[in-house]
Amino acid sequence: MSRTALVHLLQRCSAVLLLAGCASVPTPSEPPKRNVILFIGDGMGVSTVTAARILAGQRSGQPGEENSLSFESFPNVALIKTYNTNAQVPDSAGTMTAIVTGEKTRIGVLSVAADVKRGDCETALARPLVTLLELAEERGLATGVVTTTRLTHATPAATYAHVPHRDWESDTELPRAATEQGCRDIARQLVEFDRGDGIEVAMGGGRTRFLPSTAVDPEYPSERGMRGDGRDLAAEWVAAGAERHYVWIARAAGSDFVRYLASTCGTSSSASSI
């Protein structure tokens, strides 16, 4: 199946860790541009693009420098300044926050204002920044997060979570004081996301942040969950909806995974591997 077909399929299905039940998406009469997909090449600066351009050209039999990557021929191409308000060399937490909220902020914080110091739970609770994903959900649009890293990693997490420290991925990674003040870990914020009807698609890694420490990882028996609160966030998410699914890829599925996505539309809640 082509990438285009996969994109169309994901637009019809709901998912979390890696897949949830299918949901119907209303087709608006206008505007003609129905969907927006924001691709982030984490750390993809000018030097990285240059290296990729040359390598791609050389692999196609050219010297390399005269080659052009697909996105370099887009109608609109621009450069942006990547920095944090307190750092010249930024990290993905502050920069992704800028992309999805429109505001620059400090290094190491996720979708909270620039006056929130790293690790300052109390101020962070009072100074969240609204993200594009939250705005889309409030307007009734279907949303999703797909990543090659952990779902709780800084770049995907900035779209749905608000924390003063990017490393607060599970409850065991929060200081006790932050927990007592009411801060929630990133994994919990994903599952408890309450804007609109919730995130429809979430695909990525980081399963242990969603499982209790008593749970054996279903794919790697030598590993256990990381959560100290005893909660199984994946199970909680499935239980919250009639057509929700939680699955993992237990092997290199390729097109089989795409066929499984298609076959799950309209089935009941479950947890399984493919």
- The span from the CA of 16 to the CA of 159, in Å, is 15
- Per-residue pLDDT tens digits of the chain, which is 274 residues long: 444 544 444 444 433 333 222 333 445 566 667 788 899 988 888 999 999 999 999 999 999 999 999 999 899 888 888 899 999 999 999 999 999 999 999 999 999 999 999 999 999 999 999 999 999 999 999 999 999 999 999 999 999 999 999 999 999 999 999 999 999 999 999 999 999 999 998 999 999 999 999 999 988 899 999 999 999 999 998 898 877 888 877 555 455 544 444 444 444 445 554 4
- Pick 3-23+83-273's CATH classification: 3.40.50.620, 3.40.50.1820, 3.40.190.10, 3.40.720.10: 3.40.720.10
Check if 222 is active-site.
Answer: no
In the chain, domain spans? 3-23+83-273
Contacts of 14 (CB under 8 A, 6+ apart): 20, 21, 22, 23, 142, 200, 201, 243, 244
Instruction: Specify whether the CB–CB gap between 181 and 125 falls below 8 A.
Output: yes
Which of 14, 92, 111, 170 does the annotation list as catalytic?
92
